[in-house]
Structure 1
Amino acid sequence: MAMMNEKDYYAILGVSKDADAKEIQKAFQQKARKLHPDINKAPDAEERFKEVSEAYAVLSDDAKRARYDAMRSGGPFAGYQGAPRPGPAGGAQTPGGFPFDGFPFGGSWGPAHRSAAAYNPETGADVVIDIDLNAQQARDGARKGVRYRRYETCEQCSGTGSISSESAHACPSCGGTGSIDVDMSFLFGGGRLQMVCPECGGTGRVVADPCPRCDGTGRRAVVSEAVIGFAAGTHDGDVVRMRGMGHAGTNGAPGGDLVGRAHVAAERLEGRARTGFYLAGFCAPFLVSLLITGMTMAMTTLCAVPFALGVLMVVSDDVLHRSVLWWRRGAVQFANGFGNGVFFAVLLAGFSRCSQSMTGPSYRMM
C-alpha cells in the first residue's frame, strides 16, 4: 500500500489545497455516493471507494492533514506531533502547544527531520537463478559466475532504515493501532469505517527520521556478482544455496539466500516429450483392452492414432542424447498416464456392460 505522502489526496477528492472542512466533506459525499460498492458494480469501484475514504480520513482531521501537508512538502516539522496545522480561519495552530515540542535540543537541522516512513521488518526473499549445465559439467562439477539484481543492506543506516539510534516509533496518525476510523454517519446512514492506516501501512510503527539513501526501508537495489559451485554428480533440479546473498530484509530483518538451480538439458523432461510420455501411457490401457476384447478395427485405430502420436513426440526429442534420469522421468510420466487411462477404461467398460444388460432379452421382456 502506498504511504500517505505518496498520494495526492486533494486530487483524489477533487478539491484545492486550501479547501475548508465543508468543501472536503461535500466532495467526499459526492464521490462516495457514486463509488459505494452497494451502488457501483464496476470492478474497481470498491478500491476507488477505499482510496476516496482514505483521502477523506486524512484531510478531514486537522492533525492528520497538517502532517500530510508537511510530509509532502518535506517540511522540518513532518513526523512530529507538534506540526502546525491550519486553523478554522486559515491561521496556523499547533495540536501539541509550542511547535518545537518533542525536538531534541542541540540536534542539527537536516536529514534527521525528514518525513516519516512505515517501519515494517520483513525477511528478504530468496533470489533463484537457473544455471545451464551440459552433461559433462553436471558429471564433473562446475563453477559458474552470475550477475543478478537484488536488494542489499543500506550502509548508511546499517539496515535499520533510520539515521538515529531509535528506528521505530508509534505511528502518530493511528496511535500505533495500524488502522484509522472514518466517520460515515452522514453517508447512507452508516457508522464508522475502519481502514488500514495510510502512513504506517497497518504496522502501527514508523521511522520518524528515515535514511535519505534508502528512504527508510533499510535496503537499496544493486547489481551483485557471485560464483556458484556445483559438485560432481549434479543432476537437473539440484540447488546450491548461498546464505545471505539474496534480498536483504527491510528495517533490519534477516536476508534471503541466493539459490542456484541446475538446469541440465540432457536430464530435463519437458515440453513435447513430457506430453508424449503421458499421452502414450493414457492410451495404452484402451488399446490393450480393445485388442483383448476383439473390438472392431475402427475402434482399435481410434486409440492407436493418439498412442502413436505420443510415441512420435517422445522420439522427436533427441532421445539418443538423453540420460538415464531423463528416461526414468519419462517412465514416471508414462505410469501417471497409464494409471489415469486404466481408471477411465474401467469406467467405460462398466457403462458398456450396463448398456448391454439394459438392451438384452431379459430387459425387453419386462
Structure 2
Amino acid sequence: MADHYDVLGVSREASAEEIKKAYRKLARRLHPDVNATPEAAEEFKNVTHAYDVLSDPEQRRRYDMGGDEQMGGFGGFGGFGDVFEAFFGAAGGGGRQGRPRSRRAKGEDALVRLSLELGDVVFGTRREVEIDTAVLCDTCQGSCCQPGTEPERCDVCGGSGHVQRQVRSLLGNVVTQQPCGSCQGFGTRIPHPCTTCQGQGRVRSRRTVGLDIPAGVETGLRLQLPGSGEVGPAGGPNGDLYVEVHVEPHAVFSRESDDLLATLEVSMTDAILGTTTSIDGLDGAVELEIRPGIQSGDVLKIADRGITGLRSKRRGDLRVAVQVVTPTKVDHKTRQLVEELATRTKAPDPRLAEHQQGLFSKLRDRFRA
C-alpha cells in the first residue's frame, strides 16, 4: 500500500494545515463530480483515506509507528469488504449521495410574561409587548454574505455537502458517507461573511409586537402568536411567540370564573331602614338597592356586570355580599335612642341559630348563588 504522505504529496514533518491544504488541492482535481474516470475514483479513495488517517493526531501517531502495516494483515477479509462495498457503494460515486444541508432553519419560539389588571380582562385590551430576540439582518437580508457577494460551491464535496470515506475494519474496506468537513455539509462556503451579522443572517434586537388580549383570560393562560418569534438562521422562517398572562390581584374585587365578587359594608341604620347607593365597578358606576332589614351575609346580584367569557362571550354577574357594621362607640344620646329602639322592637334574647341559618354558614356560602 502506498505511503499516506506520498499519496498527499507532503513530508512526514508536514503540519496539520499543510495536510489539509494538500488534500483540498487533490480533492478539487479527483472528486467524482469533477473527474469521472475509474483511475481518478481509485486515487480519490486513496487520497481521502490518507487524509482521514493523517488529519487525526492519534491515527497519525499510530501510523508513524507502523500501525497501518499491522492493520494490513486483515487483507484476507477482502471478500467481506466487497460485500460491504455492494451495500455502501464504491468511493468513485456509486454510493447514494444525500442532499446538502440548508443554512436556512426555523427560528426558536419565544416566551414573554405579561401582567394585566383585573379591569383589563373584563372586555379585553390591546398591549404592546417588547421582546429581545433575533431579527433579520438588514445588511445582508439573510444571505449571510457581504453585499455584492454570494456563496460559492464547495470545491471539496462539489456542492453535495457530503464526502465518502474509506474505513478499514476486520471485514475489509468499508466506504461511508459523512458531512463534508470543509463546508459543514452545506455544499457551499461563504468566502465573504456579512460583517454585521458575522455570517449568521440575523442579529439580536429589541422589537415591539402588538397583541390583542381577549376578554376572560386568566393567570397562567398562554397566548400564541404564530410567526412572531425569532427569525431563523440565514433568514429562515420565524418561530412562534407565546405570551403568558398574569392577572394582578385587585384591592376590591375578586374573581370566581366569570363572576366578580365584592363585599359592601352597610351601616346598622341603613340595614334597618334600607337605602340606595352607588359603587364604582370595573366598568363604571353600579346602582345598588339596600332593602330594609338586610342581613350580614346576604348577597346582591347584578346581572351582566362581571367578566366577558373567554369562549362564551357572555358576561358574568357582579355579586356583592353585605356586611352590616355595628358602631363600637356611641354617645349618650345615641345610646338612649338605641335603648328606646330595643324596647319598642322587643328583640328576643341572644340564642344559638340553627346551622343552615347561622352567620358563618351565610358568610361561607355568600357568593354561591
Scaled to the shorter chain, the TM-score interval is: 0.3 to 0.5
Greater helix proportion: 1
TM-score, structure 1 normalization = 0.38
Larger Rg: 1 or 2? 2
Greater strand proportion: 2
